[in-house]
Structure 1
Amino acid sequence: MQKDAYTLILEAIEGGTYKPGDRLVESELAERLGVSRTPVREALQRLETQSMLTRDGRSLIVASLDHNQLAELYAVRTELEGLAARLAARHATEEEIRVLRGMVEDDRALLGGDPRALSRANKRFHKQIHLASHNRFLVQQLDLVHRSMALMATTSFAAEGRDEVAMAEHEQIVQAIEARDGEAAYAALRNHISKAFETRLRVDAGELRMR
């Protein structure tokens, strides 16, 4: 199925092709995507209403998150992700749990490698937990949260040592889901997001070096 202009631009932001502060020019996007300017204009308007883009004079630029917005986003993400893990422990099928287990084992091969590849694997892992919650409304809200996460210029996986710690946290989450222990899964995922937020704050404060 052919992707529309909105999806293509959103994926470019999520993939880091366009970073916070980058200016998006309608004519350049239309040429790059091989479409007319009308769907690009409509896509840009939609992304602006979703706060993914912001105005800089007459231009649109990729939005960025200040400290308070980042804290607010992580507060919401922590609760919603924890709830997803709790529901996954209750409702995930055996097949879904095996997929989660396989992801943890496969992702270990990425340790010490490209932080972007680790970030993509992390998104897949979290998305699988969202789906395993079997709650469509929760999945919709988490999609919105993760869309806003794309407005962060760097991934916490780029911080030295974060990848190995995060993989150990993923292991704890899956173990709790496998055990059908909703409260342990909730606590493990909340701790995972809390540590990611702490890592990001320490990076921003200059306490941690990026790879």
Structure 2
Amino acid sequence: MAPSKQPHRDAYSLILEAIDVGVYKPGDRLVESDLAERFGVSRTPIREALQRLETQSLLARDGRSLIVSSLDHNQMAELYVVRTELEGLAARLAARHATAEEVRVLKDMVEEDHALVNDPSALARANRRFHKQIHLASHNRYLVQQLDLVHRSMALMATTSIAAEGRGEDTLVEHAAIVKAIEERNESGAYEALKAHISQAFVTRLKQDTDA
């Protein structure tokens, strides 16, 4: 019996994840037949997933082809403005609503991520998990949805700010400060700590672009 195709709904998630982890980078061309073969999904759901990603501006037209979008300086700045406020709000709500178990998970993440300091790619993935955990700890489904959209757009940046020299260690120090404020139920402190963390990441990225 031939293996069944993956469900229609999976095509979008599979392509999105591949962009998020850097399999497909800004400027890369996505070919329907190649994607269908890679993911073991028929071409119809692949085609519909590509249309959805284009509608969300994660893909752009290059003639008749679709490529992974890239962000110019203004788009990146606009994205960071929105991300800073939404992430800060998530931290504020996490300080109000996070369970003891959720705080424990955040503390464990910070501790375990010290082993990844010399592996920027792994630390970048861990950083996304850390932020996702804060989003969930906010216990606000609508905020989580909006932050998911923001983080999808973050995948359109060709590099991670964590790759900058010394940024890995600084990131974990900043994460620890965020978790401390959440654990202490310090809503304004958590808000400011997370906003400062995103602001520093933006400064680092601007420096990376200048040096490129």
Which residue of structure 2 lines up, in the alignment, with residue 10 of structure 1? 16
Compute the RMSD of aligned alpha carbons. Answer: 1.2
- Percent identity reads 75
Q: 1:47 aligns with which of 53, 59, 64?
A: 53
Code of the aligned partner of 2:185: R
TM-score for both structures, normalised by structure 1: 0.95
Instruction: For 1:140 and 1:154, locate their aligned partners in 2 and report how far apart those are by CA, in whole Å.
Output: 24
Q: 1:166 aligns with which of 171, 180, 183?
A: 171
Gaps of 5+ in 2: 1-5
Q: Does 1:68 align with 2:74?
A: yes
Code of the aligned partner of 2:60: T
> What are the superposed Cα offsets for residues 21-48 of structure 1, whole Å, 9 maximum, x if unpaired?
0000111111111122111100100000
Where do residues 1-211 of structure 1 align in structure 2 (5 Å cutoff)?
4-112=10-118, 114-206=119-211
> What are the superposed Cα offsets for residues 166-197 of structure 1, whole Å, 9 maximum, x if unpaired?
10000100000011000000000000000000
Instruction: For 2:63 and 2:15, locate their aligned partners in 1 and report how far apart those are by CA, in whole Å.
Output: 21
CA apart distance, 1:111:
1.1
Instruction: For 1:12 and 1:166, locate their aligned partners in 2 and report how far apart those are by CA, in whole Å.
Output: 24
CA apart distance, 1:101:
0.5
CA apart distance, 1:116:
1.1
Code of the aligned partner of 1:167: L
3-state SS, counterpart of residue 211 of structure 2:
coil
> What are the superposed Cα offsets for residues 36-74 of structure 1, whole Å, 9 maximum, x if unpaired?
211110010000000000000000000000000000000
Instruction: For 1:146 and 1:31, locate their aligned partners in 2 and report how far apart those are by CA, in whole Å.
Output: 27
Instruction: For 2:41 and 2:99, locate their aligned partners in 1 and report how far apart those are by CA, in whole Å.
Output: 41
Instruction: For 2:54 and 2:161, locate their aligned partners in 1 and report how far apart those are by CA, in whole Å.
Output: 26
TM-score for both structures, normalised by structure 2: 0.95
3-state SS, counterpart of residue 134 of structure 1:
coil
Instruction: For 2:92 and 2:204, locate their aligned partners in 1 and report how far apart those are by CA, in whole Å.
Output: 24
What is the count of residue pairs matched by the alignment? 206
Gaps of 5+ in 1: none
Instruction: For 1:109 and 1:78, locate their aligned partners in 2 and report how far apart those are by CA, in whole Å.
Output: 27
3-state SS, counterpart of residue 18 of structure 1:
coil
Code of the aligned partner of 1:199: T
